Chains A and B, each alone.
Chain A
Amino acid sequence: MKIPPHELAKALADATAHAAGLSRENAELQSVLGAMREAVVAVGPDERITRVNAAAAPLLGMTADSARGRLLGESLRHPVITRVARAGLSGKVDEGEMEIFVPAKNASPGGSSALARRLFQVRGTPMPGRTGAVLVLHDVTQLRRLEVVRQDFVANASHEIKTPVAAIQGVVETLADAPEMNETDRARFMDILTRQTSRLSKIIEDLLTLSRIERGLAVDLAGFSPEPLAPIGSAAVEACAPRANAAKVLIEADFDAGLALPCDPSMIERALVNLLENAIKYGGSGGRVAFRIARENNQAVLEVRDFGAGISSEHLPRIFERFYRTDKARSREQGGTGLGLSIVKHIAESHGGRVSVESSPGAGATFRIHLPLAPPPAALPA
């Protein structure tokens, strides 16, 4: 069969235009996929990977190009993703959650092999005509973590509040029902009442403090003039002196007298008192507490360090949460409400700063409040 040259040329031009269109569509698709936060993996009917986006590459442990053509099970082995992929290939939508280990994002330079545990929600959707399946992986690690924090908070808060209420209610009922109770028992019950009432009122006071700070001191901060930090530090030491003396703990203060920044001095003092009280409680009797206020780069660092038993690493990421306790029995015995560190964190954040903690078992703990120092006057707009 003979095709006239002009028709051949036209067919060729059409095909080229079509190909150009396709490659433009392809490029568009690539950039849409590339912009996605979710990982996308497409597989063919033989379970071989046909396409992955940039977010998927680290999960597969290889570049997008080298993943193409490999069996899904070779690159990402997990029963959930296999199940979801097969459902997609047989024309069904399926989803599930799986836990996998992926290279940590902020791995230290030397530790390139560091892996982080992540939780992914996987959803598989069939492609038209059973030509394959698309798997979308959504990272829900943070979401699930926050759910745990919230559930723990609700459970801990109800425990912390209902326990004193239970004791108070029980004692009141007991006293009302037993008018002939002997003096010794009566005195013991009155003790319980006094102790639990004061505990409940401390918790309520701390919760109110937290909600006051949350309502936004940060907005009003502009109204405060620069306050020197050293006198605030001295006031905190003063406030903690009776406790420190009782526990035979020496507070060694080392303040940079020149540091000042706009802040609510009573709030900062409160935060420092909380940190000092903790250090006195957990630093061990007869010990010492190092209390430093210093400039570091463009920050004021308020640091309280004890030399006690320290805190094991599993607690450190959660220690500033409300009602989080590393040792419930011990901290309650010490009269804590479980809110002290959370208040410190909120005060620091309401001043545009942050908190940090460093500790290892046996080596004590160091708590720091980092507050941004005001930019030098020259940098301020006239």
Chain B
Amino acid sequence: MAALRIFLTMCRRPSVAVALAFIVIVVVASLLAPWIAPYDPNEQFFEGLTLEGAPLPPNATYWLGTDLLGRDLFSRIVYGARTSLIIGIVANGIAVVIGTLVGITAGFVRGWLGMALMRLTDLMMAFPALLLAIALAAILSPSLWIVALVIAMVNWVQVARVIYSETISIAAREFVAVERTIGASSLRILFSHLLPHLVPTILVWATLGISTTVLLEATLSFLGIGVQPPLPSWGNIIFESQSYFTSASWLVLFPGVAIVALSLSFNLVGDALRDELDPTLKGRR
């Protein structure tokens, strides 16, 4: 019931309601892509290009126009939603799991292992995330899963730092000390006290992180080391058509809008979740 109440309060903000609606649209589009997309995303239509071989602007047959090979842009964007969401969820899921494990270990178990893990996160913070991802992707020769893995490898650091400081502050509270004095084991404290208190933070970062992940995937694909064509992704649609964007601006505009809208939506929802779930923020905005 609490979850439903939070959900309803969040929806009262118009921006969050729109963001949630857009996320639902993207999820539905990626699940039902074969039924929603009017054409096969990889089919090159003969009539999809002008006589000179240029792509067609948006029209009645091809709603968002066609790309350089005469493929339907709308269908490619619908299938591209799949790529973005899969990477967003898988990569960010891995990042949140690694980050949570590292953060809890460093904050609760501490000892030399905790020290080493925090020094490792400090070290990872010294690298620009995009450049490290570029280096890894270039070395590992990209595929859908490698891209997800690479993004997870650079994105867990943020989560680890947040969970670490949260764990430390929760573990220092009195109820944890009380549990210890009545003889609760560390494992019991971890699972029945620490983790439930961490759930809100984890949830917020699981949402905000998807936004970062979507941007990183789009950027890697735009640079040509993300998702590889012909598998459509919003980033690689722009990568393929970037040199024509002055004459065929729709090829950049539509996938671009989709990327910004999805990333913005997850940011808005994550931000609203944080406001709802973090009691210390109440009334401070």
Q: Do A and B come from one complex?
A: no
List residues of chain A with CB under 8 Å of any chain B CB: none
List residues of chain B with CB under 8 Å of any chain A CB: none
